[in-house]
Structure 1
Amino acid sequence: MHDFSLPIGPVNPSIKEPACIQLNLDGNMIKNAKLNLGYAHKGVEHLLEGKKIEQALYIAQRICGICSFCHSNGFNQSIEKILDYDAPKRVKYIRTLVTELERIQSHMLWMGFMFHEFGFETMFQYLLRDREHVLQLFERVTGGRVHHAINKPKTVRYDLKKQDITFILEKMDLLEKQFKKYFGIIKKDGVTKERLVDVGLISKKRAKRFCLVGPTARASGINNDIRDKHPYDAYPYLDFEVIMRKKGDAYTRLIVRLLEVLESIKIIRQLMKGLPEQKIPEAKLIFIEKGMSTSQVEAPRGENFYFTTIKNNKVDRAKIRTPTFAVINILPTLLENRPVGDVPVILHSLDPCFSCMERVIIVKDKKREVIDEHTFLHKYCDHHH
């Protein structure tokens, strides 16, 4: 079976979003791989244009269902920069709390599905069971389990009550106990090591060349954590460790995310202990005649970058660079000279989110095109053409 072509996707067996990987095989080994993307394109950047700030915030937080708050926080931060507004400390603490809860649930979902990829179904079930505790916290703090909608320009929608703080700390104790147990299992389990160790190796040099971000970069020895390099919200007041390792394989990426969950638990305890006693401002309508700014936030997968321009209180242009956009380009290189069975593990180890990534306007032959989803799929995503 030499020189055999195998398309995986767009209905992909390893991830729950559409993506097509075209493999050229020599026997069971991958000679080269090509990515065909665009199946989840929604035209969000164009959708944001012309919207009032409150409407745009509503759309931004629906770009992704896993890192919903980080998108709303990135957009909201750029608006507050234009207004030259520094939010009260309590507002910053509440925003940071939701950011870290989102990191925990995202990493738990990723770890669960990583174990699912190589058949460790027990760990998959344990992690999804324990993730429910974080979703209960979201429901208690924000009213929503998936989209939290807690951000408003200059403030947040909901304040924390004393009983909420007690509830949060109880859940953190429970999660810490469980994760220490899981860490022990992962360190000993032979199947986990057999499937992940030395698979999808990314050296520090290669990680720099491909401009990787987030836990994927930190597992290869690069500290580009926005919380540490460009602190925002409550991070300047917190003491935390940036989790880094050097080896850069799929197993290291698993360990980094697991340790990040434990670090997020420590951060949340600091937030609850140091939560300032003050009232949060009431939400008020704002007006921006003209302005432009950028913002960066550390989403669970890495740096979320927002470039926003406002004219007459409406979004003139919103450019969003999501972590998957930075990370996914290394995938074909990682798949070369690997067996087909490693494709799900290597792909999932990068933690791609195509819903986040595919929201661009196409620029082709120096002609600006704003196109609908059907035309986009027909022109650019059909791998048979």
Structure 2
Amino acid sequence: MTPTVTSTPTSTPTVVDRPVRARIARAGRRVIVAAGVAWLVFAGLNVVLSGRWWLWLVPGLLPPLVFAVVPALVTAGTALLRLGRRPLVIALAGLAVGGAQAGFNPAALLPPSGDVAGTHFKVVAWNTEVWDEWDDPAGFLAFLRAQDADVYLLQEYAENGLHPADFPGYSAIERGELLTLTRLPVRRVVALPAEPAPGSSWRQVYEQVKSLRVDVTAGGETLSVYNVHMPIQLDLVSPLSADFYRQLRLRDAARHRQYTSLENDVRDNRNPVLVAGDFNTSPVMGDLRWLADSLHDAASGSRSLYPASWRSYWPVQLWRLDWAFTSDAVTVQRYEFVDPRRMSDHSLQRIELTVRRAP
């Protein structure tokens, strides 16, 4: 008897229809090109609107690194998929515009400046996060004293937080939350936008004075140091509420008043100047435009390619909110952010500078 042989049909591999794959590829290309165009428009609008339109305070909250990472990914995708010259030019333009706002410090790649003849100062600027309220007071003061600065520019100083024996040999000048300590002779004190009215409460001064100028002298040279703490951008309320936008406009107006008064005073000041503190302003925000264009960022004396100062509690700090700027007569020899040992959410700025002798 002849055996019956049965054959089972073999399954053929599924082949994706080429037109389907082509449609998927075209859709991917459209997405990348659209993302490149959208990012270029957004980055350009940020340059134009930030610091000029109150509602743009919200996009300004983005971590500055986003302005480098997103266009870099779009550019890489455009190049890998060989989308053509025009889309690549758009992607590269987005990288150039966005990357310029990302907060990188190209000066870190250059050789450090050499010694300069003149009068040397060591300055510390630090948002102390409500003084020693959550810290061991003795450890807090020991940390500050160990900096051994000629001038301390301290923000969020608590009312009656300082005692005469805490910093022997230093003069203490305070206006609300701003405390300037100096062991150098004081020539002049200016509160900005204006000196508080007599009898003002500590809280009133806190709200009104956000920049404190103190002129100090050493070796026959005078240096104007500005202690700055700009108002924050917004309250933590729901963006779905009308109060969110009302507060946003009020805070933008307050920041504008404070920045304008500071800029006007610096513009009229003929002394060498150092402007330092917590600006509550990141590299993507246009509020710093005048200071950055008219003065020199102290990061020129830093070895960090991406200087960032907030939040110090996190493993990686993404924002630089603390700045220092100097005029032409001042050379920054060294600039660094110092770990505050969990005593503040802001890193401490340590600045070593030289005021060059007038010719």
Q: Which has the larger radius of gyration?
A: 2
Structure 2 length normalisation: TM-score?
0.24
Structure 1 length normalisation: TM-score?
0.22
Higher relative contact order (CA 8 A, sep 6+): 1
